[in-house]
Amino acid sequence: MKHTLIASVQDQPGVLVRVMGMFRRRAFNVESLTVGHSETPGVSRMTFVVDTSRISSRIVEANLRKLVPVFDVHDVTHLPTVSRELALIRVRCAEGERSQVNDLISIFRARIVDVATDTVIVEITGDPEKVDGLVELLRPRGIVEMVRTGKVAMTRGASARRGLAHEHDADADPLELAS
């Protein structure tokens, strides 16, 4: 089974290396990893999709919590979440076929973001299954290149910070959060 974990970490050089080093040492398999700034200065957010067929997600979560640059970790697999992935897909496309490609991708609410003489770049955002669906429809046309971000997720509900964030002042020093 795949589990989605969200971690709040210190936003500084070397944190990603330390976190991934722990995954490597423990032989945890990461299906996807997305890292970016959060709403709090000095704090980044990591979203992991981890294969838990060999190891419990609780063990992964506990090991993450032990790392000094990690402030908070939550398994959101069984919580109501909004999750998305972004993909850019370069597809073979002759000049006369662009309208056909555009009609096809519009079903997925995707869009063409770049046009060259014999290719187009398609941008799609959605859940991983939606992205997979478009990839399969575009594959017969000839996918030249593709990049996917990996999954990002937030829990649903009015209290967006419920159980996931640090209840602290936005001006607080992120280093104090680790204590």
Chain region(s) in the chain for CATH 3.30.70.260: 2-79+157-177
Chain region(s) in the chain for CATH 3.30.70.1150: 82-152
Q: What is the pLDDT of residue 163?
A: 46
Per-residue confidence band for 159, with pLDDT thresholds at 50, 70 and 90 = low
Distance CA 3, CA 11 (A): 24
Per-residue confidence band for 158, with pLDDT thresholds at 50, 70 and 90 = low
Pick from 30, 36, 32: which is nearest to 15 by CA?
36
pLDDT digits (tens, 9 = 90+) for 51-68: 988 888 899 999 999 998
CATH number of the domain located at residue range(s) 82-152 in this protein: 3.30.70.1150
pLDDT digits (tens, 9 = 90+) for 18-49: 999 999 998 888 999 999 999 999 999 999 99
- Whether the pLDDT of residue 74 is over 70: the answer is yes
We find that the CATH architecture of domain 2-79+157-177 is 2-Layer Sandwich (3.30)
Non-local (6+) Cβ contacts of 142 within 8 A are 91, 92
- Whether the pLDDT of residue 162 is over 50: the answer is no
Q: What is the pLDDT of residue 172?
A: 44
Q: What is the pLDDT of residue 55?
A: 85
Outline where 11-153 has alpha helix (H).
15-26, 57-66, 98-106, 128-138
Start-to-end C-alpha separation, the chain: 33
Per-residue confidence band for 177, with pLDDT thresholds at 50, 70 and 90 = very low
The per-residue pLDDT of the chain, averaged, comes to: 88
In the block, tokens 């299954």 appear at: 129
Summarize the confidence of residues 106-129 as an average pLDDT: 96
pTM: 0.77
Angle, to 10 degrees, between the axis of helix 15-26 and the axis of helix 57-66? 140
Contact between residue 85 and residue 127 where contact means Cβ atoms under 8 Å apart: yes
